[in-house]
């Protein structure tokens, strides 16, 4: 059986404080977008868990969230895994788009359906929180406000289908590093950090300050995007390194992509997509 694992973007991200456990207290609005990894799960007669991926840079052992999620689920319901999981990657890693977290959450949701265990989203979310802070968000398959270290998920309706152009340079940003640098970082003069008030809501990201200090390319890319007539807003997603351009209309995406290539080179990952409109899922479903 094949399952789609969507990416996400952070439309807003506020850091409240550093916690005693080393994480940071945050409040963020996250929304799924139309960029997907694909997972194919099939039974294995010989038993055990086999994991393969079309990206050779992805680990295939217990360092991979997909493997850990499958083993956690099987352990929780008391069965031995007899399955093969094949992952096809489209979401770049180190991008602030939650690809690995979405893959893990999709495995939990998929196995819950395959084995007909009827575990609630709340139960699956609690399992997911043991694996990573962003994973519970993907369990709810909805836009959501996430608090705590990200594991406290409140689904919200998000009816907009915002046309987006995603731009990722050929480097990632380590999330723990970005949070560690936040408190002592400074703004770069001339770079816009203030919240952007749009018709549907606000774009803002507190992690732009530390990330832009080290990765000046991202600061310059944001500044350039905000000058383009096709763009109504621009923001870094999560801890980066992906920049989001919110477009005035979908047709503006590809010409903008061509302009980006002329201005910044062709070694960028550029992808035209949109936010996925969501309604509140029924409680317990």
Catalytic residue list contains 134: yes
Residue 174 inside a domain? The answer is yes
**142: containing domain:** 2-155
- Pair 98, 169 in one domain: no
Q: Which pairs count as long-range contacts for 46-52, CB under 8 Å and 24+ apart, including other chains?
A: 46/82, 47/80, 47/81, 47/82, 48/81, 48/82, 49/74, 49/81, 49/83, 49/84, 49/85, 50/83, 50/84, 50/85, 51/84, 51/85, 51/86, 51/87, 52/84, 52/85, 52/86, 52/87
Q: Tell me the CATH number at 255.
A: 3.30.70.890
Q: Which of 37, 103, 134, 206 is catalytic?
A: 134
Residue 281 inside a domain? The answer is no
Catalytic residue list contains 214: no
Chain segment 192-244, per-residue pLDDT in tens: 999 999 998 999 999 999 999 999 999 999 999 999 999 999 999 999 899 99
Percent of the chain with pLDDT over 90: 80
The total number of structural domains in the chain stands at 2
Q: Pairing mode, if any, of strands 269-274 and 163-168?
A: antiparallel
pLDDT classification of 252: cutoffs 50, 70, 90: low
Q: Which of 8, 103, 206, 222 is catalytic?
A: 8
Chain segment 165-194, per-residue pLDDT in tens: 999 999 999 988 999 999 899 999 999 999
* Residue ending a domain, choose from 87, 121, 155: 155
pTM of the predicted protein model: 0.92
Query: What pLDDT score was predicted for residue 128?
Result: 95
Helix (H) or strand (E) holding 177: helix 175-182
pLDDT classification of 253: cutoffs 50, 70, 90: low
Q: Tell me the CATH number at 139.
A: 3.30.230.10
Residue 283 inside a domain? The answer is no
Query: What pLDDT score was predicted for residue 45?
Result: 86
């Amino acid at each position: 059986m094949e399952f789609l694992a969507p990416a996400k973007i952070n439309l807003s991200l506020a850091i409240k404080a550093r916690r005693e456990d080393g994480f940071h207290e945050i409040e963020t609005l996250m929304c799924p977008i139309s960029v997907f990894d694909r997972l194919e799960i099939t039974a294995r007669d010989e038993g055990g868990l086999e994991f393969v991926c079309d990206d050779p840079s992805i680990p295939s052992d217990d360092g991979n969230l997909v493997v850990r999620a499958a083993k956690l689920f099987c352990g929780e319901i008391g069965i031995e895994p007899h399955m093969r999981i094949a992952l096809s990657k489209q979401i770049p890693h180190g991008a602030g788009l939650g690809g690995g977290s979405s893959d893990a959450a999709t495995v939990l949701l998929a196995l819950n359906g395959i084995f007909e265990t009827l575990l609630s989203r709340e139960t699956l979310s609690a399992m997911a929180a043991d694996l990573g802070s962003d994973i519970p968000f993907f369990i709810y398959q909805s836009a959501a406000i996430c608090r705590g270290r990200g594991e406290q998920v409140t689904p919200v309706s998000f009816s907009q289908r915002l046309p987006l152009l995603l731009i990722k340079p050929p480097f990632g940003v380590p999330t723990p590093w970005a949070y560690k640098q936040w408190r002592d970082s400074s703004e770069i003069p001339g770079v816009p950090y203030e919240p952007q008030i749009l018709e549907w809501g606000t774009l803002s990201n507190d992690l732009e300050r530390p990330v832009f200090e080290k990765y000046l390319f991202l600061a310059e890319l944001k500044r350039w995007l905000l000058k383009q007539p096709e763009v109504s807003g621009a923001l870094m997603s999560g801890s980066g390194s992906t920049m989001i351009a919110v477009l005035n209309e979908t047709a503006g995406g590809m010409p903008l992509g061509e302009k980006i290539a002329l201005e910044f080179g062709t070694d960028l990952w550029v992808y035209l997509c949109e936010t996925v409109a969501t309604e509140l899922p029924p409680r317990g479903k």
